[in-house]
């Protein structure tokens, strides 16, 4: 069934991509709204294929792709609105960073003075003003990453597709770029970011797409995804001075199906079917038994754990 | 503990450009994280200790031996896992490791034994007869780690070891690194941009900026300080009554996002009291921890200061 | 009963002698090199000439064989410095082919995927690395030049009588020195090509191509400037001048001997400089 393309979303409608016999992605249907959507999965799972399909570098073997209502098979309409930062590093020789940006902007149709102004603004945003007039061939890894980002954002796109954008950046730069992405998301831009660093994904994403072996394994807000996974009870980590006592209490009140006490006897890991009830029980337990709680937190509420459950350690190629 | 690495006004220039400026420190931890922005000199420091660059002034000692005068002995004690891809495509993993082990001085028979052992240890056991050129990115990283440990060095330099690895492979590698560290026979120097990796594996951190040491501190000690700062995440507090109750009790609170509360506990208030307040209002305390300086805070502070502390 | 846990162990045993470590490289290289059947065939083929020479020497001293062949010893090639000079030239040519086959695969695989830092982060220096790689070619080329040459000389002196060797010591010296000069230059040159050119086949082809190209340039220089100086970059001319002087033969006088030596030295120095540019643990990017 052909759906009317939504102008506010990136839509994939039953898309498959095969390279001859080799599978890229298989029957993927997605609707990506504005904000930061992270794409997570092992190497070889189809992330780059998905990104290439969205940016029109590949045509699907089957199915349809719509980016903000436009089709990637009409690049002249789509590319002014799209920025793509790939994971591969190659640049035309002999150009400086500034020249590269200016030529890209002129390709998008801006005149020379405007292009220069925009290039300067973009260089400031990515933090490359010092090295802007040096040859790109002499850039360090971090600088090359920044110029790639600059090329992707210089024309103010509405859609940004970023393949491992923080690779090689030092902690400061990572924090700056993450803040930049959040700022862009707040302005209504669609960002699709692929990353292996799951705690960063947790930090900034509104939604997550987990992909493995060419299939989408789960997608949506990470908390909702976790809630749907009923077959994995919630795990909660508690560090306190009397773990045995707490364990007994948990079993007495039937608030846990499994409790494991840490080796140092100062904490425990609880598996429970209903986290809400457990927390309310904790309040009573602390007051009635004189327990000293030092630390309490959900142990598997994040992308890392969901990844482990759904894709596992054997995901992807050996 | 005897210092493993002693830097003595170590200075290195590239041509006329100073990269490392009179570095002085004594490093003795089991696992030391090496951090710093791009261009701070982390890789140059490692390369200088390996003897790839001569120092223009000052020197360094590894396990008591001067890196200039006893360069070869020093290198016998070091294992190096470089950041970039490093392999010989047409060699099998076993052959490659044998070559590396023999070049480090092991007799051929021992080299053969340790090559197999190292490959099994890092998890490449099944693939060890395959050519390195056929390996995936994760396997190449493991092969690099294997060649760094095959000759049983006392010091391991790991430069961005989790580069390019997907989450399960990253976790496996970090677990391996922790195992190696916990074995107690080797000192690790881990250089990485991922503060998370360093936090998981290292006890001490050395932060460089612009060729100088900004911070050298012990993470455990940093974590033990600051017990009065608390961070809470709650659920069920729809009308803010919990928050106001906390403030009435004397805690200074700051709300971060929709459900997170950062607070300072005054002397009179204990965690039990907070639970009392929560129980009264049927509030769930989903997350509670003492907010100590995380590595990120330490790093950011180090970058801001104009005069480093040592 | 025990449960054995596999964990990281430091190595506390003996280490091999430091001076002999560079020989590890030829040991590993030869295992690779001898996998090629073509190379083995070429190596066997390179012994055809020494065997023929040995036959000739034998024939010189074996009356029965001569009677069978019905010839006069005077008709056979005389066994003198010309004899051995020819031997050297033939084997040097074969050596050139061998280098083109073996040389390119020595350094380029290490550079292709940045394996050099792994070598140099061990108690192993750049000099040892180059020496080790050169040894592969030195050993191979020695095995087809001065080693069989000396054996032939010994055969001759054995058949002829002890004093022959002593009175023809000069030939032995010329053979050895001439071989070594050729071996050293050829090893340096192929290693340099291997370090600078990524593809083995191209490096091998360049070994021939560059020398022909340079010869052509030399000829052009001669024509344009009407001198003989162009011969200084013509490797075969240079080698022939040097060799003929070693064998005390009349050269063709195109280049002075001193100039030939200087030219060779310059070739070698250039190769060494180029090698040292590539054989480095770490590239500094400006």
Amino acid A315: pLDDT = 54
Three-state DSSP state, B22: strand
Amino acid A135: pLDDT = 87
Q: Complex ipTM above 0.90?
A: no
Q: Is C8 near chain B, with CB under 8 Å?
A: yes
Q: Distance between CA A93 and CA A136 in Å, rounded?
A: 8
Chain B interface test: which of C123, C125, C126, C279 (most B C-beta within 10 Å): C123
Cβ neighbours of residue C73 closer than 8 Å, sequence gap 6 or more: C59, C60, C66
Q: At CA B244, angle to CA B240 and CA B247, rounded to 5?
A: 145
Amino acid A19: pLDDT = 92
pLDDT digits (tens, 9 = 90+) for B118-162: 999 998 989 999 999 999 888 999 999 999 999 999 999 999 999
Which of B43, A253, A106 is closest to C282 using CA atoms?
Answer: B43
Residue B265, number of CB atoms within 10 A of its CB: 20
- Residue C218 tokens, joined: 């030399």
pLDDT digits (tens, 9 = 90+) for C82-129: 888 889 999 999 999 899 889 888 999 999 899 999 999 999 999 999
Assessment of whether the complete model's pTM goes beyond 0.90: no
pLDDT digits (tens, 9 = 90+) for A151-191: 999 999 999 999 999 988 888 888 889 989 999 999 999 99
Candidate from C6, C21, C122 with C-beta closest to B121? C6
pLDDT digits (tens, 9 = 90+) for C196-246: 988 878 888 888 888 888 888 888 888 888 777 777 778 888 888 888 888
Q: Give the minimum alpha-carbon distance from B133 to chain A in angstroms, rounded to a whole number.
A: 15
Residues of C in contact with A140 (CB under 8 A): 285
Three-state DSSP state, B134: helix
Q: Is C162 near chain B, with CB under 8 Å?
A: no
List chains adjacent to chain C, taking adjacency as at least 3 C-beta pairs closer than 8 Å: A, B
Residue C85 vs residue A314, higher pLDDT:
C85
Q: Distance between CA B188 and CA B33 in Å, rounded?
A: 8
Residue A1 vs residue C213, higher pLDDT:
C213
Residues of C in contact with B151 (CB under 8 A): 11, 122
Candidate from A172, A196, A283 with C-beta closest to B166? A196
Cβ neighbours of residue A184 closer than 8 Å, sequence gap 6 or more: A153, A160, A191
Residues of A in contact with C285 (CB under 8 A): 138, 140
**Low-confidence residues in chain B, pLDDT < 70:** 1, 224-228, 256-259, 292-293, 305-310
């Amino acid at each position: 069934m052909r759906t009317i393309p939504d102008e506010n979303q990136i839509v994939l409608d039953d898309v498959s991509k095969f390279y001859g016999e080799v599978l890229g992605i298989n029957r993927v249907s997605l609707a990506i709204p504005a904000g930061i959507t992270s794409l997570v999965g092992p190497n070889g799972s189809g992330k780059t294929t998905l990104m290439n399909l969205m940016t029109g570098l590949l045509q699907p073997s089957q199915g349809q792709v719509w980016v903000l209502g436009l089709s990637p098979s009409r690049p002249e309409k789509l590319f002014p609105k799209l920025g793509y930062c790939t994971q591969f590093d190659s640049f035309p020789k002999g150009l400086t960073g500034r020249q590269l940006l200016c030529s890209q902007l002129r390709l998008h149709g801006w005149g020379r003075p405007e292009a220069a102004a925009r290039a300067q603004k973009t260089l400031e945003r990515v933090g490359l003003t010092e090295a802007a007039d040096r040859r790109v061939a002499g850039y360090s890894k971090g600088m090359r990453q920044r110029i790639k980002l600059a090329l992707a954002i210089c024309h103010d796109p509405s859609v940004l597709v970023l393949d491992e954008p923080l690779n090689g950046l030092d902690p400061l730069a990572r924090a700056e770029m993450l803040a930049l992405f959040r700022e862009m998301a707040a302005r209504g831009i669609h960002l699709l970011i692929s990353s292996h660093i799951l705690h960063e994904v947790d930090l900034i994403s509104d939604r997550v797409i987990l992909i493995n072996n060419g299939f989408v394994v789960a997608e949506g807000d990470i908390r909702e995804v976790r809630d749907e996974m009923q077959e994995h009870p919630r795990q909660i980590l508690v560090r306190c001075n009397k773990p045995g006592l707490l364990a007994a209490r948990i079993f007495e009140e039937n608030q846990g199906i499994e409790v494991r006490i840490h080796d140092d006897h100062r904490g425990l890991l609880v598996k429970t079917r209903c986290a809400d009830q457990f927390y309310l029980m904790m309040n009573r337990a602390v007051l009635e038994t004189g327990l000293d709680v030092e630390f309490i937190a959900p142990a598997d509420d994040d992308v890392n754990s969901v990844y482990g459950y759904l894709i596992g350690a054997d995901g992807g190629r050996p | 503990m005897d210092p493993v690495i002693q830097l003595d006004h170590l200075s290195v220039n590239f041509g006329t450009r100073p990269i490392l400026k009179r570095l002085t420190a004594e490093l003795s931890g089991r696992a030391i994280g090496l951090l710093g922005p791009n261009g701070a000199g982390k890789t140059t420091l490692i390369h200088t200790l390996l003897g790839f660059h001569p120092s223009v002034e000052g020197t360094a000692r590894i396990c008591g031996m001067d890196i200039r005068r006893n360069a070869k002995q020093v290198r016998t004690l070091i294992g190096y896992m470089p950041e970039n891809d490093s392999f010989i495509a047409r060699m099998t993993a076993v052959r490659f490791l044998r070559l590396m082990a023999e070049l480090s001085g092991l007799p051929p028979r021992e080299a053969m034994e340790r090559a197999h052992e190292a490959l099994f240890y890092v998890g490449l056991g099944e693939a060890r007869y395959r050519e390195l050129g056929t390996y995936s990115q994760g396997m190449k990283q493991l092969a690099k780690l294997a060649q760094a440990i095959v000759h049983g060095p006392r010091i391991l330099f790991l430069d961005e070891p989790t580069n390019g690895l997907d989450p399960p492979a990253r976790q496996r590698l970090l677990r391996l690194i922790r195992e190696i560290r916990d074995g107690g026979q080797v000192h690790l120097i881990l250089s990485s941009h991922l503060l998370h990796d360093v936090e998981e594996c290292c006890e001490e951190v050395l932060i460089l900026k612009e060729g100088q040491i900004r911070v050298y501190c012990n993470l455990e000690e940093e974590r033990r300080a600051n017990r009065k700062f608390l961070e809470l995440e709650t659920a069920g507090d729809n009308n803010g009554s919990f928050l106001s109750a906390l403030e009435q009790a004397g805690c200074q609170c700051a709300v971060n996002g929709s459900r997170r509360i950062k607070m300072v506990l005054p002397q009179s208030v204990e965690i039990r009291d907070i639970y009392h307040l929560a129980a009264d209002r049927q509030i769930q305390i989903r997350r509670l921890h003492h907010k100590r300086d995380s590595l990120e805070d330490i790093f950011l502070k180090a970058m801001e200061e104009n005069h480093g502390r040592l | 009963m025990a449960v054995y846990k596999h964990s990281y162990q430091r190595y506390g045993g003996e280490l091999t002698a430091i001076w002999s470590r560079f020989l590890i490289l030829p040991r590993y290289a030869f295992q690779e090199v001898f996998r090629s059947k073509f190379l083995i065939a070429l190596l066997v083929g390179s012994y055809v000439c020494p065997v023929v020479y040995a036959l000739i020497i034998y024939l010189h001293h074996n009356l029965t064989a001569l009677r069978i062949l019905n010839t006069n010893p005077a008709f056979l090639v005389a066994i003198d410095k010309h004899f051995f000079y020819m031997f050297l030239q033939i084997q040097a040519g074969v050596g050139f082919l061998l280098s083109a086959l073996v040389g390119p695969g020595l350094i380029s695989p290490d550079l292709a995927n940045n394996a050099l830092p792994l070598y140099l982060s061990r108690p192993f220096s750049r000099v040892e690395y180059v020496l080790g790689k050169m040894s592969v070619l030195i050993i191979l080329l020695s095995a087809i030049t001065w080693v069989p040459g000396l054996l032939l000389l010994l055969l001759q002196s054995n058949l002829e009588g002890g004093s022959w060797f002593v009175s023809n010591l000069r030939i032995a010296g010329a053979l050895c020195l001439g071989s070594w000069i050729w071996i050293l230059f050829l090893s340096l040159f192929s290693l340099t090509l291997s370090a600078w050119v990524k593809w083995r086949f191209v490096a091998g082809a360049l070994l021939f191509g560059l020398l022909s190209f340079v010869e052509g340039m030399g000829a052009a220089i001669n024509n344009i400037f009407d001198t003989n100086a162009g011969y200084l970059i013509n490797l075969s001319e240079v080698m022939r001048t040097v060799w003929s002087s070693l064998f005390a033969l009349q050269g063709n006088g195109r280049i002075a001997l001193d100039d030939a030596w200087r030219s060779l030295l310059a070739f070698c120095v250039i190769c060494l400089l180029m090698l040292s540019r590539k054989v480095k643990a770490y590239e500094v990017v400006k």
